[in-house]
Structure 1
Amino acid sequence: MKAGHGEPVIKAGRGAAPGASRAAAVPFLLRWSVLTAAVVCWELAARARGSVYFPPPLRIARHARDLWFSGPAGHLFLTSAGAGTILPSLGRMAAGFALAGVAGIALGIAVGRSRRAYALCNPVLQFARAVPPPALVPVFVVVFDFGTPMQVASIAFSAVWPVLVNSAEGARATDPLRLQVAAVLRLTAPERLWFLILPSALPRIFAGLRLSLSLSLILMVFSELLPGSDNGIGFTLTDAQTRSDLLTVWSALLLLGALGYLLNTGLLAVERRLVGPRTSAGRTA
């Protein structure tokens, strides 16, 4: 009887894993099937129209590969043109995003833990967040002149506000009961910050970091469109436009979309590793 009762359980356990994998594969297949259908429609429409202003996506991808990704494997398949175009842009964006992230988290936690500081700083934060980031670029041109420092400063200053505001909101949302327990346990201020406030604020911090990442990519391109730039994706986009090299223009747009997707996917992977799945976080909250 025990064997008879246990046998169906073993069969159900064996069948659960394929069912779960199939259920997890359905959203993945649906997502990529929609993208594939969109690319196929674009390809067919472009070939039917035959316009030089609307090239097929396969031709754009082939041109981007020949231009930037046909180098040796030891250089990550980057050509000299690819290294001179992609790496400077990623370096500027990474520097600006890192500065914005560190400053935004530190200042946001400090502001969010003090009611008086939050009440005093909140109007300034909301005003600064509402200013369109490209409008600030001329100010940084005057302060830093053209060049990499101006580009990094404009990226960092414009991208810091989503992180700062979300970090402050996350710090303010820390459960007061947990803070009282921490006081009873006589945890020091660094211990409260590390073990209580930061874990509680992490979901909002990562929400701000995702917004900051997209802003960093936009500001990186915009800063490279300005006079004085001599490399980067934005400079390549402007240079190709002036030469009426539409294939390179489309290739740069395709490259920016791919970079944005890859960077956002990487940040989401880090968030899942540190915060956990959103469903679990929602149940815990």
Structure 2
Amino acid sequence: MASGKQMTASPIARRAGLVLLEVLIPVVLVATWWFTTRHSTSRYFPPLSKITTSFHDMWVFSHFWSDAVPSLGRLFLGLSIAVVIGIVVGLVLGLTPLLSDALAPILEFLRATPGVALLPAAFLLLGVGPTMQVSLIAFGSVWPVLLNTVDGVRGIDPVVEDVARSYHIGFADRMLRIVLPAASPQIMVGIRMALSIGVTVIIFTEMIGATNGIGYQILQAQRSYAVADMWSGIIMLGVVGYLLNLAFLGVDRVVLHWHRRMHAAVR
């Protein structure tokens, strides 16, 4: 019984220790930043106390709804378009290797072209505004989803597909019950990569061609030498990225709960 209790408590203790480290390290870093800059007179590295005051004034009240919310809205819209296109096209290419091999050079060429490199052309074709930003987010984010979907579909055991055909399972049921679930771990990896790319693209486009957004406010603060406001915008961007990652991990646990249970059962 004692050994059973020890085996039960050990994973809980490890998890508690991991959570403690995850909380302790940021606290130590912030405390170090606070005390090392508390007497700073540098124009470019103001005290953290001044930055936190600016963060409270800018992002807790005045600029959250006018800048942070529009940035997140454009990001989610562009990512949604990228995910839908990436999964649909990835399924088609994964199920037709001949077509995938024929289009491979074109896909690699487009994938190697950064979305932000198309910004001048996007200005000419779409103008300045949300349409241009959402389009560039979708273009830059679609490739990891598409290519990971192709890899996930191609990685399905051929025996599984042969059994499905032998039982005369329809195409739609095969897609929903076999292909998509089997490829979903790879697809979720691609979506996580697309999320980081989307954040980069939206901030860049807001700095170049926007009238609001987190990136726009960071650039405006830099141009007006409001250094504390600039740093508070950068911190806001980090907070948004961290919360988006937490939200994605929650979605990932829900979508792939069957995958983790299966691997736990095998172990």
1:38 counterpart (29, 36, 59): 29
What are the within-5 Å matches in structure 2 for residues 97-136 of structure 1? 97-136=79-118
The offset of 1:65, in angstroms, is 1.7
Higher relative contact order structure (alpha carbons within 8 Å, sequence separation ≥ 6)? 2
Asked if 1:139 is matched to 2:121, the reply is: yes
- Structure 1, 51-60 or 256-265: larger mean CA deviation: 51-60
CA distance in 2, matches of 1:236, 1:19: 47
Secondary structure at the aligned position of 1:225 is classed as: helix
The alpha carbon displacement at 1:17 in A equals: 4.9
Question: Could you tell me which residue of structure 2 aligns to residue 255 of structure 1?
Answer: 236
Deviation at 1:93, TM superposition (A): 0.6
Q: Aligned equivalents of 2:46 and 2:56: distance in 1?
A: 15
Matches within 5 A, 1:126-275: 126-227=108-209, 229-275=210-256
Residue type of the alignment partner of 1:256: L
**Among 4, 11, 15, the residue aligned to 1:24:** 15
Contact 1:166 1:204 in 2 (8 A): yes
Deviations 1:260-281 (A, max 9, x none): 1111111111111111387656
Task: Quickly say closer, same or farther: Cα 1:88–1:116, change in 2 above 3 A.
Answer: same
Question: What are the superposed Cα offsets for residues 33-68 of structure 1, whole Å, 9 maximum, x if unpaired?
Answer: 222222222222222543231133343233212222
Contact kept, 8 Å, 1:166 with 1:207, in 2: the verdict is yes
Task: Provide the rounded CA distance (Å) in 2 between the counterparts of 1:142 and 1:64.
Answer: 35
The CA RMSD over aligned residues, in Å, is 2.1
Distance 1:277 1:261, change over 3 A: farther
Q: Which amino acid aligns with 2:202?
A: M
Cα deviation, 1:4-46, whole Å, max 9, x if unaligned, reads xxxxx3x666665544322211112112222222222222222
Identity %: 32
Distance, in Å, in 1 between the alignment partners of 2:262 and 2:147 is 21
Q: Deviations over 1:109-144 (max 9, x none)?
A: 111111111101222222211112211111111110
**Distance change >3 Å, CA 282–CA 81, structure 1 → 2:** same
Letter in 2 for 1:123: P
TM-score w.r.t. length of structure 1:
0.86
8 Å CA contact 1:275, 1:281 repeated in 2: no
**Partner residue, 1:61:** 52
| 3-state SS of paired residue (1:53) | coil
Indicate conservation of the 8 Å contact 1:112/1:118, yes or no: yes
Contact 1:85 1:233 in 2 (8 A): yes
Extract unaligned runs of 5+ from structure 2: none
Q: Please say which structure displays the higher CA radius of gyration.
A: 1
Q: Could you tell me which residue of structure 2 aligns to residue 75 of structure 1?
A: none
> In the alignment, residue 153 of structure 2 is paired with which amino acid?
A
Give the deviation of 1:238 after TM superposition. 1.3
